[in-house]
Structure 1
Amino acid sequence: MNKIEQSTEGFEEQLLRDLTAHVARRAEVASATRAAGLRTRFPRGWRLAGAFGLTVVLTAGALAVQTMGVGDRPPPTATASEIFRMAADAARQQPELTARPDQYVFTESLVTLRDEPASGPYRTHRTELWQSAGGVAYTQARYRPETDPNGWSEVQVLRLDDPGDPDRQLDAFQSPAYHGDLPTDPDELLRYLRDHPVDLHLPEGADEEAVYGDESMVYTTARMMLQGYVPPRALAALFELLAREPGAVVISGDVVDAAGRHGVAIRMPGVIGGNEDFLFDRDTHVFLGRRGSVVRDGKESLGLAFALLRIAIVDRPGQQP
C-alpha cells in the first residue's frame, strides 16, 4: 500500500461502501422490471486516490484493459515538469474563493468504476460532496447514477467506521478542506509541508520515523492538499513543487474524460501494485484531476477515477452554489 492510500483509505472506503449500497438499492428496484438486477462491486483493497471530484474520469467507450483512454491526437512533447509549470501558470489565472471556518467546500464530480476488478462494464456516478472548510464538521455527500437524473441518494454524513474508535473522532473526515494559509512561494511551501506533513493514520507497528522522514513525504503531503480547495497562488506553488518530484512521466497519447475534455496525463511515482495519473487540460493545462489503475498479470486497467465538474463555497451541507 502506498502512502496516499494509507492516508485516505478510511474516508474513501466509507464513500465506496455508501456508493455501493446506493447502486445496489437502485439495482434491486430495477430488477423488478427486468430479468436480472445490477449490483456494483469494487476491487477489494482499492482506494479512491485523492480529493473527491479532483480526479479524471475516462469515457466508458475508452476504458479497456491496457487501453487507458488514448485518443487520436499526437503524444505531448512537453516533459512532466514543464506541464506542471504550465499548470502553475494556469492556476494563477483562476478566481479565488474565500471561506469561513464554518462554511463548506462543495465539489461536484463524476466517478467512474467497474463492476468487477478486471471485467464488466464501467459505470459513472455523479457525486456531490460538502467538506468542512475549517475542519469543524464531518464531510457529507450524495450521489446518483449518471444515467438516472432522479436517482439521488439522501445527503449523508461520512464517518470512519472503526471499531477501535467507537466515538468516531478520528480526523480523517474533519481535516480543513480550505487551505487558505499555504505559502505561495515554492521554497517556502516546501519548508511548510516538511514541517506540517499530512497525518497518514499509520497502522500500529509501522515505522513512523522512516515514513515521515522519507524525502518523498513532502510530495505526498503536497498531493493531499488537492483533497480540498487551494487558492490560486498557493496552487501554483504546489504545482511548481510537484514539478521537482523525480520520477514523474508523461503518458503518451490523448486522454478524454467523462465531460469530453481532452487531457494530458502525468504518471506519478511511488505507487505499488498500480499507477496514479494526474490529468491536465490538453490546451489550457488546468488541473482536471486523477485516475488510478491496477496492474494484474502484467495487464493494466482503470481501477476508478474522478472528474471535477465544479467547486464552490457554500454555507451548509445540501446547499447548491
Structure 2
Amino acid sequence: MTSLPPPPARDLPPGRHEFHKERLMTQIDNDTRTPYRRPFLLRPAFALSAVALVAVVGAGIVVTQRGDDATPAVAFEPAQTADPNAGTPDGVAQLVNRMVLVAATREDKPATAGDWVYISSKSTDTFIRGNADTGEEKQVATASDRQVWRSLDGARGWLIQSGVDQKEGGETLDSGVGASVNGPSYDFLAELPTDPGVLLAKIYKDTEGQGNGPDSQAFSTVGDLLGESYPPAALYPALYRTAAKIPGVLVVDDAVDAAGRHGVALARVDEGGVRYELIFDKKDYTYLGQRQVLTRDDSDGMKAGTVTFSMAILDRALVGAMKQVP
C-alpha cells in the first residue's frame, strides 16, 4: 500500500489562517482531556498532532499522515449524509422517560484501586480539501479508529489512534490538567450531582462564556459527559433529564453513528446551523455515539445534510492496567 501524498499548500482568504490555528490549538488542548469536543460554528476537523500545525495553518488542509512510507494516515470513505430537516420537539419527554426507566435497571461494576477506564471508538470527519496546482476544492471524508486508557482520576492516559502522527505504540495523555465537565474523569463523574436541575446549573456555570451560547454549550457538554467516559449508573438518568431541560432539544427517530448503527437521538440545532445528535440504541438506550449534521449549506461549500462529524463508542470497560484490552 502506498502512502498518501503530502497535502498541497494553498493560500487562504484573510483571517482563515487564524481560524485554523485557533481551531487546531483548541483540538490539541482538548486531546489531553476530551478529544471529541467539536466547537460549534467551526467545521469539524480531523484530529491532528501538534507537529502538523504549520502545515495545516499554512494550507488550511486538515489531513495528516504518518512518518513511515507504508501506512496511510487516514482512511478515506464516502461522506455520510442525513436529512437536514430531521427532528421534532414532540416526544422528547416520552423518550427520556423510557430511557430513565431502562437506566434504572442497570448496575455498576465498581472500580478498584489501579483500574483504568478503557474506551474503543471510531470517528469520521468531512471537510474541504484544496489543490494548490489546480485550484480545485473537493469534499473529503476520513475515518479514524481510536483506543484510549484513562486513570480513574484522569491525570494519566494513553492513546492509540489511526490517522494521527504519534510514536509507535501510541502516545501519553498525561497532562496534569484537572478533570472538568468537558473532560470528565471516572472520579469526577462519580461526584456530579444526580439532580437534573442542579447538574444543569453546574454545567451552565462551568461553561460560561464558551461555545455559541449557554444552551448550545450545555447540550454539547452533556455529550462530553456521555462520550469518552465511564459514568456511574446513577448518573445516566440525570444526564438524560438534564439534556431534555435545555431549550430547543429535539428527537431524531433515525440517527446513524460512525459504525453504521441506527439509533434514536436527542438533538439540538445550534446557532451555526449544525444539528448535534446524541445517539442511543432504540431498544435498550445504550449510548452509541454522536454526530453533527449541517442543517443548511455552509460557507465552505458543504451542503445541508452533510454529516461533518460522527463518533461511535465500540467498547467501554474498566481494566486492570493501562494498555490492557477487555
The TM-score normalised by the length of structure 1 is 0.63
CA deviation profile, 1:127-176 (whole Å, cap 9, x unmatched)? 111122223x233210237xxxxxx95221136xxxxxxxx644369752
The residue aligned with 2:156 is: 138
1:64-118 deviation per Cα after TM superposition (whole angstroms, max 9, x unaligned): 4xx3279xxx999962332233222332333413224653211111111236368
The runs of 5 or more residues in structure 1 that have no matched partner are 31-37, 42-58, 146-151, 160-167
Helix, strand or coil for the counterpart of 2:102?
A: helix
Aligned counterpart, 2:246: 245
Among the aligned pairs, what percent are the same residue? 21
In structure 1, distance between residues paired with 2:292 and 2:87: 20
2:133 corresponds to which residue? none
1:310 Cα offset (Å): 1.1
Contact 2:89 2:249 in 1 (8 A): no
Name which of 154, 162, 172 aligns with 1:157: 172
Counterpart in the other structure of 1:194: 201
Candidates 295, 300, 317, aligned match of 1:312: 317
Are 1:83 and 1:285, in contact at CA under 8 Å, matched by a contact in 2?
A: no
Q: 1:23 to 1:317 in 2, by over 3 A?
A: farther
The amino acid across from 1:181 in the alignment is E
CA distance in 2, matches of 1:220, 1:291: 11
Distance 1:9 1:18, change over 3 A: closer
Q: Which residue of 1 aligns with 2:298?
A: 296
- Taking a change above 3 Å as real, the CA distance of residues 19 and 265 of structure 1, as seen in their structure-2 partners, is farther
Cα displacement (A) at 1:287? 2.0
Provide Cα deviations, 1:25-66, integer angstroms capped at 9, x if missing partner. 178425xxxxxxx6659xxxxxxxxxxxxxxxxx955x44xx
1:130, 1:140 within 8 Å by CA — same for their partners in 2?
Answer: yes
User: 2:28·2:49 contact (CA, 8 Å) conserved in 1?
Assistant: no
Q: Distance in 1 between matches of 2:274 and 2:198?
A: 30
Deviation for aligned residue 1:219 = 5.2
| Cα distance in 2, alignment partners of residues 115 and 40 from structure 1 | 13
Give the counterpart letter for 1:127 in structure 2.
R
Alignment partner of 1:29 out of 60, 63, 70:
70
Report the Cα distance in structure 2 between the residues aligned to 1:198 and 1:77, rounded to whole angstroms.
26
Query: Which residue is 2:82 aligned to?
Result: 68
Q: 1:192 to 1:267 in 2, by over 3 A?
A: closer
Q: Which has the higher contact order (CA 8 A, sep 6+)?
A: 1
Write the deviation string for residues 261-312 of structure 1: whole angstroms up to 9, x where unpaired. Answer: 2212332244535331111223333221211235514833222221011111
237-246 vs 16-25, which moves further: 16-25
- Distance between the aligned counterparts of 1:84 and 1:317, measured in 2? 35
- Aligned pairs (5 A) from 1:1-321: 9-12=27-30, 16-18=47-49, 24-25=65-66, 28-30=69-71, 63-64=79-80, 67-68=81-82, 79-100=91-112, 102-114=114-126, 116=128, 119-135=138-154, 137-144=155-162, 154-158=169-173, 169-171=176-178, 175-178=184-187, 179-184=189-194, 188-195=195-202, 199-200=206-207, 221-227=221-227, 228-251=229-252, 254-272=254-272, 274-294=274-294, 295-297=297-299, 299-300=303-304, 301-321=306-326
1:25 is paired with a residue of what secondary structure? Answer: coil
1:217 to 1:264, Cα distance in 2 relative to 1, 3 A: closer
Conserved 8 A contact 1:103-1:134? no
Partner of 1:51: none
Distance 2:138 2:93 in 1: 34
Given that 2:288 and 2:313 are in contact with CA atoms closer than 8 Å, whether structure 1 keeps it comes out as yes
SS at match of 1:313: strand
User: Which one-letter code corresponds to 2:156 in the other structure?
Assistant: Y
Counterpart contact for 2:48–2:64, Cα < 8 Å: no
Label 1:194 to 1:242 Cα distance change in 2 as closer, same or farther (>3 A). Answer: same
Aligned in 2, Cα 1:277/1:235: closer, same or farther, shift over 3 Å?
same
Summarize the Cα distance change of 1:302–1:259 in structure 2 as closer, same or farther, 3 Å threshold.
closer
User: Relative to 1, partners in 2 of residues 1:100 and 1:144: Cα closer, same or farther, differing over 3 Å?
Assistant: same
In the alignment, the residues of structure 2 paired with residue 153 and residue 199 of structure 1 have an alpha-carbon distance, to the nearest angstrom, of 36
Letter in 1 for 2:303: K
Task: Using the TM superposition, give the Cα deviation of residue 199 of structure 1 relative to its aligned residue in structure 2, in angstroms.
Answer: 4.5
